[in-house]
Structure 1
Amino acid sequence: MFRPTRILQAVLIALSTAGCATTTSQAPSTATKPSSGAAFQTSVKKTGTVAIKALAEPASIQAGESRSGRTQFFKLNDELNDDIASYAQEVATVRKIPLDVVTDMLQQAQYNETAAKLMRPTKGRIKRSWVTYKKRNVDPARIQGGVQFWQKHRLALDQISKDYGVPPSIIVAILGVETVYGKIMGDFKVLDALFTLGFAYPDDSRPERGQLFRDQLADLIELHYQGELDARIVQGSFAGAMGMSQFMPGSLIRYAVDGDGDGRIDLRNNPADAMASIANFLRAHGWEPGLPVFAPVELSNASKAMVDGGIYPKLSWAQLNNAGATVKGQSQNAGPWQQAQLGVVNLVDEPRNTTEYRLGTPNFFAITHYNRSYFYASSVADLAAELAKQMGYGNPN
């Protein structure tokens, strides 16, 4: 997502794996992985006016290992090191890709020191600041740019919103927070970034991170073999996220859709594809049409203490109400959100020693599957609310 000149911002965002729709959490689907080449023709459930695409994740690739500081990946004869060769063999077997295709792709990859540097843990602890984060993402430039983008793509947005049941404001806000509406999509070679982070992740205490990037590298190679992209040249963020919507390769396989019916999925150059793919991703991860992002409630101290920091809502309104939470305004019959699972959201500002609390519906938590940070999901919702206000649409919150 970020250019090398934006290192400070990139490091801050990297702390919460921002800049990408990932597949680190399984969508609520019973689909099975299709055979290679079928990923872009398979949908698994019908909801509303379109089929929601949500393919199951394949098993992780067990071969290969990550070592911080590693820069040697090839033998003197340019063959892959043993662990990477084993990785190539498993990718070929599991993903049904010819071994020579996998090997050739890996031999073209290069270590990217900048990607490793941007992902390296910072020394010392950075104080969390919701106020600062929100100011950076719900800013005049994003509001103005979002209004202009919305006006330009109003017809497509309205149709996608109708098809998927996701408000236009939410779709536009995600594009705004992710790439400033396609202006900052990243200029890292995705193959190099994923190779680097998969086999030389700069924090040996987080082996699951290297595993994640090795799996995403396998997804990228699969996309290349299917002819969906050219992995030798495709660019993205330092973490491997691609396009206006910043989809990781796995999300591109499992959730990206053709938004304009031209038979292709192009998240970098086709806004309709990017917008529809965002909407599909949210629906696949629990977005419920008609619900707000935040429930209109006043939280008591006892109900605030029920925050768990997770990305799945687990509380009932009865539990929260019994703990002292009340509906704002005069009406106690506030709508269908009272029948949904809910979760307390804490937005901490350590420099100011304050915490803002909100009550998230399933739609808030659907956004956290795009990025696990409560800051991220809340800034998307707040930017969406401002954009909807500017455009004369209903508040998604």
Structure 2
Amino acid sequence: MTIVYRFLFAGCVALAAANLHAEPAGYAIEADVFAREMVERHGFDSAELRGLLADARYSQTIIDAMDRPYEAKPWRDYRALFVTPERIAGGVAFRHDNAELLARAETDYGVAPQIIVAIIGVETNYGGNVGKHRVIDALTTLGFAYPRRADFFRRELEAFLLLSREEQLDPLQAVGSYAGAMGKPQFISSSYRNDAVDFDGDGRRDLWRSNADVIGSVANYFRQHGWRSGEPVAFAVKLPSGVPAGIALVEKTPAPPETTVGALRAVGVEWDEPPFDDVPASLIRLDGVDDEYWVGLNNFYAITRYNRSNLYAMAVYQLSEAIREGYEAMSAEQNKVGASF
């Protein structure tokens, strides 16, 4: 290849790379409108805010990730991502290492330790993967160039900038998921502002580095979104012959419980759990090699408030149960060893 052709080839590659990540039409206009709204609504300095938005980078990778979420997978594949021996063992270790904080959170907020731990396990593998995208890049990309959910992400960008001002965060340094979720529990900006707590009492709410704040914040989130202390979450059932007439079947998209345990029992749905017939319930189908049917109760629906997916809620629940069993087995073994001395 001659020097001229090498030069032309390199130029074409560079141009293609630039175009791949070029801001789409309308991005700059949306950014300008947003900046004016933030100045008028919240008193941000116009020059500083526009400079900050100019430092944000559009990312086609983020757009692509939004269009292929994990929750689009069938249950048999989705479960295999999260309910694994490694994640169970990691959850048992995390619960052991943070036992006092989890006990305090259960006392203060009424949320079982294994549920808190399982959320952190599913979201970031106990802090092992908090995301690699700058939050400002994710939220500007989705707020200004993802029409299907632009309104939601513009509100989250607004909340993120307010959060940064309130918590003295550097908005150009904060990293998270492709959807702008942050820290070990992957709170979106509005949840961070509304539900995060300073559980270690140091005057800050740090969801990246403080396990105390992470644990307390997850527990508070559940209390604020309908968790009922001491109540069960879900249980597997058998259907007599297909879905009974008159019973709404809930699949991937969550819905508040619309029937009762007693009504399901009356039409022949079978299980081994106690009766508690007047408890609100949903009949849920999960697609697998053999389809699974479950009854989801109020606390199952509360888990879907964290991520609006029945697959997500079931993965959290099943991981939590495996963590609980593993932790109890470890504690029993430690007690046995201790008693032998």
| TM-score (norm: length of structure 2) | 0.81
CA separation of 1:228 and 1:324: change in aligned 2, threshold 3 A? farther
Secondary structure of 1:288's match?
A: coil
Structure with a larger share of its residues in helix:
2
Aligned length: 305
Distance in 2 between residues matched to 1:380 and 1:228, nearest whole Å:
32
Indicate whether 1:220 and 2:164 are aligned.
no
Segment of structure 1 superposing worse, 312-321 or 378-387: 312-321
| Structure 2 unmatched runs, 5+ | 1-19, 330-341
| Structure 1 unmatched runs, 5+ | 1-67, 75-79, 202-206
Write out aligned runs for 1:111-126 (5 A).
111-120=58-67
Indicate whether 1:270 and 2:217 are aligned.
no
Indicate whether 1:345 and 2:284 are aligned.
yes
Whether the 8 Å CA contact 2:106–2:219 is kept in 1: the answer is yes
Secondary structure of 1:392's match?
A: helix
Match of 1:176 in 2: 121
Distance in 1 between residues matched to 2:47 and 2:297, nearest whole Å:
48
Over the aligned positions, Cα root-mean-square deviation in angstroms equals 2.6
CA shift, 1:176, in A, is 0.7
Percentage of pairs with the same residue: 35
| Aligned with 1:185 (options 122, 126, 130) | 130
CA shift, 1:69, in A, is 8.4
CA shift, 1:101, in A, is 4.3
Match of 2:249 in 1: 307
Segment of structure 1 superposing worse, 226-235 or 283-292: 226-235
Indicate whether 1:144 and 2:89 are aligned.
yes
Greater relative CO (CA pairs within 8 A, separation 6+): 1
CA shift, 1:107, in A, is 2.0
CA separation of 1:261 and 1:299: change in aligned 2, threshold 3 A? farther
Match of 2:175 in 1: 235
Give the aligned residue type for 2:176: G
Distance in 2 between residues matched to 1:114 and 1:197, nearest whole Å:
11
Write out aligned runs for 1:195-210 (5 A).
195-201=140-146, 207-210=147-150
Secondary structure of 1:155's match?
A: helix
TM-superposition CA deviations, 1:3-28 (whole Å, max 9, x none): xxxxxxxxxxxxxxxxxxxxxxxxxx
Whether the 8 Å CA contact 1:73–1:84 is kept in 2: the answer is no
CA shift, 1:161, in A, is 1.2
TM-superposition CA deviations, 1:331-387 (whole Å, max 9, x none): 5xx34xx443211221112xx3x3201001111111111111211110110111011
Larger Rg: 2
CA separation of 1:165 and 1:111: change in aligned 2, threshold 3 A? same
Give the aligned residue type for 2:207: L
| TM-score (norm: length of structure 1) | 0.70
CA shift, 1:326, in A, is 4.4
Match of 2:110 in 1: 165
Match of 2:305 in 1: 369
TM-superposition CA deviations, 1:123-158 (whole Å, max 9, x none): xxx984322221221101101111111111111111
